[in-house]
Structure formats: structure tokens, C-alpha cells
A and B are shown apart, each in its own frame.
Chain A
Amino acid sequence: MAVYFQKREVVVPGQLLAEGRYRASYGTYDEGGKIYSSLVGLAELRGNTVKVVALEGVYIPKEGDLVVGTITIVAGNNWKVDIGGPYGASLHANNALRRPYSDDISEYMDIGDVIAAEVIAFDRGGGPFLGMKGRGLRVLQGGMVLRVSPAKIPRIIGRRGSMINMIKDHLNIQTMVGQNGRIWIRAPSTEVLRLAIKAFRTIEDQAHTSKLTDRISEMLAEEMAKIKGSSEPEEEVEPEETSVPDEEAIPDTSEDVEAEPEPEVVEKATEEPEPETVTEAEEEKPAEVEVEAKEEDENKNEEVTEE
């Protein structure tokens, strides 16, 4: 019974981490009752479980992950979706549309469209398979997609969405943070978009440092004040910014009108998945759900999170 590492120590592959009644978890392996690291990362002990938090790595899909992907091929009643990492995903029309749907599914979503979807199945045999029957899962209109290292996503979301919500509060932007390291951002103006990118990049660079949320918050407050200040004399930027709150108040409906498939894709399954997601992955899921849920029905969402 012994642990051979300091908390949050940088460990290397093959390093002996613990011996005795400990359980090997992510980033470690067990050989003859001894637990070794299999990655470069930060070692952690939780209860009697040893794990290593990776500092690098590609995206490996997991069931239940929310991902942001780009449609690359429309094949029959499937869409092939690029979600980064070694595995291309497919999305079957049945998992995205309400029947009956047209034979030509490219009417609903076509090559190049960026979508938010959930990994519904992935095993060694096949997949990953995506689904879009969930709250907030939809075609992402406008905005841009930022790529960050998937290993840094938990930090960008923050504890129970603290980081991402903080950023959204400051910048008044719409975002979707995929577990696959793609972040969709739609900001009211280029300045704010740049600032959002800067914020995400900073988090990525400094993911393993302390008080990051506070520092980012300060930085954003400062920069936003600058943007507000500089944009006041100019008339062009100002109206754009003021128009944002209105737009955000009814984001889904406005988008649904733009894109024909939306009513079928989204609106239905709003009720059920909510409690389920919360129990599944407390601190990660709600963040993304909230992004979309917030404006629509803030009250209900809060109730669930408190549970």
C-alpha cells in the first residue's frame, strides 16, 4: 500500500504510481498489482483510484459526448461527419429527422454544414454513430468553429460549466463546446469574436494553472470595456452590439425559420434528455445544455442543476 507520486505531479509513461489496493483508471495500467502511468500527464488519486490526466491526445469518441462536427458526405440516408480524431462519424437520418423525411436528405443538411450532435454509439465494431435527437442538437448557423486540443476541453467548460458560462456572460456570445475540441462561436461583432478566441486560446495554453477562471474573467472584463469604449464614437459597431440581446432572446426560433429542417430536428425531444444528462456527467453536460437552454427557459434549467 503505497503511492509514489505527489498530487498533480507530471508523470511519464512507465512510472510506478501506486502499489497495493489501488485501482487503475484512465491513463494508467496495472501489472502484477502495481499501477504504472501509460501517459505523460498529471497524476491524481481519487479515493483509491489512480488516474493520469492527459496533457495531449486526439479525440477518441465516447458515448454521450456532445461533439461539433462538419458534414463531409451525404450518402443515402446517412451523413458522414468529420468530428476530428481517427474516427469519422456517421449520422443516420432516423437519428436526426422526424419521419417522414424526404428521400434526398441533403435538403435538410448538406456538405459543409456544421452540426452539434451527440455520440449515441461507439464500440470496437463500428461507429461512432451520432444522433441529433436532443436538446440543443442542431445545425449551427453562422459563426465560426475554433479548434482546440480535446484534452483541454474539460478546462474550457470548467467545473459545472463555470468557465464557459463566465465567458458567455461577459461576451454575450453563443457557443457550443464539443468534447472533440471544436468550439462553435457566434459573436455579435468581430472584436468580440476575436476576444472570445483569445480567451479560449489562453485557457488552452494555461489549462493547468490555478485561478484561471478569475484571470480570464478579469481579462475579458477589461477587454470588453475597451471594446465598448472604442466602439461608442463609431456608429457602425454600436447598433450591432445593441441588437444582440434581442437576437439572443429568441435564438432558436429565428434560426429555425432560416433553415427548413430545424423544426423537425430539434424542438421535439426537449423534455426527457435534460435530467438524464445531468446525472450522467454532472459538470460537463449541463454546460453545453445551458448554452442553448439558458435563454429559452432559464428557470427550469436551474431547477434541474440544483438537483
Chain B
Amino acid sequence: MSPEVKPDFLISPEGLRVDGRRVDEMRPIELKVGVLKQANGSASIRQGKTYIIAGVYGPRELHPRHLTLNDRAYLRVEYRMATFSVPDRKRPAPSRREKEISMVIANALKPALFLEEFPKAVVDVFIQVIQADGGTRCAAINAASLALADAGIPMRSLIPAVAVGKADGKLLVDLGDEEDKYGQGDVPMAIMPPTEEITLLQQDGSFTREELQEAMQMGINSCKYLHELQKEALRRAYVKKAPEDGNDDDDEDDFEDDLETDLGEAELMEDE
């Protein structure tokens, strides 16, 4: 890695970016659900060279007690970068930046979660950046959202997030590290796809009103694409967990009858 060398241009004469992407193209993304055994829910994301693991514990008993919220669960997000995640050693103590990003991520995830179902408890989300290459807060949200779903926390929808930025006067989706460092601005955003409600919107650098609006539109489109990847990753994990699922069709009747009564009536009755 040679991070100190500023590239000559961020957009090549052919209109391609430093890593050869088009302006509206995202880096290759790989999502995995259930990567940690110990946690109640977990997920990992590789987005370009960025690699992040998220683990969710809970809902569980909240300590220290004074943080307790009587009407809902407390969402505690801890975003941390590994000392080796960046070219210069990152000092291990939690930095101001990490604390802020933790809060920003919590605020981005909170609107989607039905935390009121677990009053007084806590949902712990631990996010560890293994390798940072730009866009870590958005990648972290993508992974954390999947980990929460994997933990069985009820939610309105998964939360995809992406950063849109500006370099050489052009709007770019999913900034890489160099574009982030040497570009002219950066708008990380997260949405709830069914309603397109925005749960995270930050801006760094200056954008005109038109640019910002266009950037947001690009962001929403990319988020929707990401959302599809998230859903697919989640389904894949659960179909894998039950590999015998294929048998279902063979003798569905027998099975269905059996299980439906087991799981169905009990809970329905308690609902009433």
C-alpha cells in the first residue's frame, strides 16, 4: 500500500475512476451472515479492500443499570478500528472519531428496530474494522443491520448505506480511500428501502443544492442495490442452516401439519 502518493487524477480522461470503476459503480461487495459462533447474530462485509465484522449480543440484561430505558431497549453500538486496519498503526484507545461514528451508526439503525419490544434490556452491536479502505461507516451499517437481523431482533427493514462523493467535479458512488482523501466531498447516507426514509445523511465538503439532490438520488439507487445483496446474503445463510430444506417439497404435507401446529397455535394464542 502506498497511501501517501496522490494520484494524478481521480477521474481518467475516459471518465473512469482510479480503480477503473464507472462513476455510478460500486466496489465488489461480499456479505456473509453468521460468521461468529459466540454472538447471537453476526455478519461480515468486504467492500473493495474494506473488511468489517459486526457482532450482535442481546437483547440481554443491561449493565450499568443507570442506562436503562423503561420503554425500550438500549442500543449500544461500538465501532472500533483494529490497530492494523490502516497503514499507520491506529492507536488502540477509542478515538473521538470512533465514538462519533458509533453514535452515528446507532442513530442510523435505531429507526428500523422495534426496540420497544424489549424494555430495560440492551442490544449490543460490536463493529470491528479489520481493514479500512474508505466507506467504513457505511459498510459498518450494512454489516450491523445484517447482524441484527441474524440475532432475531425485530426490525422494519434492513438498512443499506452508501457514501456518495465528489471528485474532479463529478459525483461518485461508494468512495474508495483515495477518492475520500483527495476528493472534494463525501455524503454518507443510509435509508430504509420500503419507504425510502433516510436514517443517515452527513456531508463533508461543499455541494451545490443540485449536486446534493443528485447525490442523494444516486445514493438511494445504490442503497436499493445493496439492499438486494443484503436480503440475498441473509436468505443464503438461513437456507444453508437448514440444508434439508430441499426435502420439504417431497413430503410437505406431513411436515407442515406437524410443524404448523407446534409453532403456530401456541404463539397465536398468546398473542390474543
A-contact 0/1 string along B185-221, CB 8 Å cutoff:
0000000111000000000000000000000000000
Contact call A155/B262, Cβ cutoff below 8 A = yes
Which residues of chain A are within 8 angstroms of B71 by Cβ–Cβ distance?
124
Which residues of chain B are within 8 angstroms of A212 by Cβ–Cβ distance?
258
Which residues of chain A are within 8 angstroms of B61 by Cβ–Cβ distance?
86-88
A-contact 0/1 string along B98-121, CB 8 Å cutoff:
000000000000001010011111
Please tell me if A107 contacts chain B, counting CB pairs below 8 Å: no
Which residues of chain A are within 8 angstroms of B248 by Cβ–Cβ distance?
8, 209-210
With A56-B40, A155-B259 in contact, do A284 and B152 touch (Cβ < 8 Å)? no
Please tell me if B67 contacts chain A, counting CB pairs below 8 Å: no
B252 partner, pick from A39, A44, A60, A210, beta carbons under 8 A:
A210
Contact call A40/B149, Cβ cutoff below 8 A = yes
Binds B, one of A185-193, A221-229, A275-283, A290-298: A275-283
Please tell me if B8 contacts chain A, counting CB pairs below 8 Å: no
With A8-B248, A56-B40, A209-B247 in contact, do A124 and B262 touch (Cβ < 8 Å)? no
Please tell me if B10 contacts chain A, counting CB pairs below 8 Å: no
Contact call A64/B266, Cβ cutoff below 8 A = no
A155 partner, pick from B119, B231, B263, beta carbons under 8 A:
B263
Contact call B264/A51, Cβ cutoff below 8 A = yes
A40 partner, pick from B152, B252, B265, beta carbons under 8 A:
B152
Please tell me if B4 contacts chain A, counting CB pairs below 8 Å: no
B268 partner, pick from A15, A46, A86, A124, beta carbons under 8 A:
A46
Which residues of chain B are within 8 angstroms of A283 by Cβ–Cβ distance?
261-262, 265-266
With A25-B271, A56-B151, A60-B118 in contact, do A281 and B266 touch (Cβ < 8 Å)? yes
Closest chain B residue to A207 by CB distance? B242
With A26-B267, A40-B238, A58-B60 in contact, do A13 and B259 touch (Cβ < 8 Å)? no
A-contact 0/1 string along B234-261, CB 8 Å cutoff:
1100110110110110111011101111
B-contact 0/1 string along A230-268, CB 8 Å cutoff:
000000000000000000000000000000000000000
Contact call A38/B121, Cβ cutoff below 8 A = no
Which residues of chain A are within 8 angstroms of B263 by Cβ–Cβ distance?
44, 53, 154-155
Which residues of chain B are within 8 angstroms of A99 by Cβ–Cβ distance?
none
B-contact 0/1 string along A22-46, CB 8 Å cutoff:
0001110101000010111000101
CB of A217, distance to nearest CB on chain B (Å): 13
Which residues of chain B are within 8 angstroms of A60 by Cβ–Cβ distance?
59, 117-118
B245 partner, pick from A49, A208, A213, beta carbons under 8 A:
A208
Which residues of chain B are within 8 angstroms of A98 by Cβ–Cβ distance?
none
Q: How far is the CA of A248 from the CA of B230 in the complex (A)?
A: 52
In this complex, the interface size class of chain A, counting residues with CB under 8 Å from chain B, is 35 or more
Please tell me if B5 contacts chain A, counting CB pairs below 8 Å: no
Contact call B40/A213, Cβ cutoff below 8 A = no
Please tell me if B150 contacts chain A, counting CB pairs below 8 Å: yes
B149 partner, pick from A7, A12, A155, beta carbons under 8 A:
A12
CB of A94, distance to nearest CB on chain B (Å): 24
Closest chain A residue to B70 by CB distance? A124
With A12-B149, A56-B41 in contact, do A124 and B119 touch (Cβ < 8 Å)? yes
Which residues of chain A are within 8 angstroms of B194 by Cβ–Cβ distance?
14, 16, 36
Please tell me if B1 contacts chain A, counting CB pairs below 8 Å: no
A86 partner, pick from B60, B154, B234, B255, beta carbons under 8 A:
B60
With A12-B234, A40-B234, A208-B242 in contact, do A56 and B150 touch (Cβ < 8 Å)? yes
Which residues of chain B are within 8 angstroms of A14 by Cβ–Cβ distance?
155-158, 192-194
With A12-B234, A56-B150, A209-B245 in contact, do A36 and B258 touch (Cβ < 8 Å)? no
Q: How far is the CA of A86 from the CA of B61 in the complex (A)?
A: 4
Q: How far is the CA of A27 from the CA of B61 in the complex (A)?
A: 22
Please tell me if B14 contacts chain A, counting CB pairs below 8 Å: no
Residues of chain A in range 122-165 having any CB-CB distance to chain B below 8 Å: 124, 151, 154-155, 157-160, 162
With A36-B194, A62-B270 in contact, do A208 and B150 touch (Cβ < 8 Å)? no
Contact call B241/A13, Cβ cutoff below 8 A = no
Closest chain B residue to A126 by CB distance? B120
A86, A154, A282: residue with the most chain B Cβ atoms closer than 10 Å: A86
With A12-B235, A86-B118, A210-B247 in contact, do A39 and B258 touch (Cβ < 8 Å)? no
Which residues of chain B are within 8 angstroms of A159 by Cβ–Cβ distance?
258, 261-262
Which residues of chain A are within 8 angstroms of B112 by Cβ–Cβ distance?
13
With A14-B155, A124-B119 in contact, do A210 and B268 touch (Cβ < 8 Å)? no
Contact call A58/B58, Cβ cutoff below 8 A = yes
B255 partner, pick from A15, A64, A209, beta carbons under 8 A:
A209
11 chain-A/chain-B pairs, Cβ below 8 angstroms = A7-B252, A8-B256, A29-B156, A60-B118, A86-B62, A151-B152, A154-B263, A155-B263, A210-B252, A212-B258, A281-B270
A-B CB proximity, top 5 nearest: A14-B157, A210-B255, A57-B152, A86-B121, A56-B152
Known: A39-B152, A54-B152, A87-B120. 4 other contacts (CB 8 A): A10-B239, A29-B156, A60-B59, A209-B242
